[in-house]
Amino acid sequence: MSLLDDLRQATIKGDATRVVELAELALNEGLDADRIIRDGLIPAMDYIGDEFAEGKLYVPEMLISARAMQAGMELVKPLLVEGQVETLAKVVIGSVQGDLHDIGKNLVGMMLEGAGAEIIDLGTDVSPASFVEAVREEQPDFLAMSTLLTTTMHVMEKTVDALAEAGLKDSVKVLIGGAPVTEAYCSEIGADGYGTDAAAAVSRVRELVKG
């Protein structure tokens, strides 16, 4: 097996220490950061997403693999020449105001990063005004909001309305997800996409990027 094959397997297995070791070895042997990401880390996370979608893997396993991928990303990303890797999309992500849960949000962010997206993570308990400010400053392709609580779902609608009031609604695609969220609610509040889980979120972003 080649180094990149080994790197893919280590990422799939969720062996973060081995991922970093192999990424360092690949760099030392002259592979550039772009190739390590494009041919090593991203294909591994594509495989994980497909396996999850087919019910062959579960959230804990996907999270372990995503963390291993992120360890590799942290090593090689600073070595990228600006613009060298084509970015899938720029995504601002956060859990809405009143919700401090972040496991699902973090997993979506890591899976999107593993698919080649640039992630700006606002954390948890993010107000509509903070989302709007981030959209204005970062000019992302997507705004992704998460909630685990029925009591905070309404903040998603408030954020969509706030984007419209700020004249930014047409400049960004709004994605929503979380346990109480449904496709019907997505349509009701005027969001652009809904993902049932992290793998679905990646698929939805790819669909919307392709148009």
Q: What is the pLDDT of residues 100-142, one digit of tens each?
A: 999 889 999 999 998 889 999 999 999 999 999 999 999 999 9
pLDDT of residue 80: 75
pLDDT of residue 81: 63
Task: Write out pLDDT tens, residues 83-111.
Answer: 466 788 999 999 999 999 998 899 999 99
Supply the pLDDT for residue 65.
Answer: 95
Judged by phi (left if over 0) then psi (alpha if -120 to 50, else beta), residue 197 lies in: beta
Confidence at residue 78, expressed as pLDDT on a 0 to 100 scale: 84
Instruction: Indicate if the pLDDT at residue 82 is higher than 60.
Output: no
pLDDT of residue 161: 98
- Assessment of whether the complete model's pTM goes beyond 0.75: yes
Residue 1 has what pLDDT?
62
Superfamily per CATH, domain 90-210: Cobalamin-binding domain (3.40.50.280)
Mean pLDDT along residues 145-159: 96
Dig out the tokens for 105 from the structure: 């949000």
Q: CATH homologous superfamily of domain 3-79?
A: Methionine synthase domain (1.10.1240.10)
Region 160-164: mean pLDDT is 98
User: In b/e form, how buried is each residue of 7-31, taking b as 16+ CB within 10 angstroms?
Assistant: bbbbbbebbbebbbbbbeebeeeeb
CA 94 to chain centre: 11
Domain ranges of the chain: 3-79, 90-210
pLDDT tens readout for residues 43-60: 999 999 999 889 998 889
Helices 59-76 & 103-114, crossing angle to 10 degrees?
A: 50
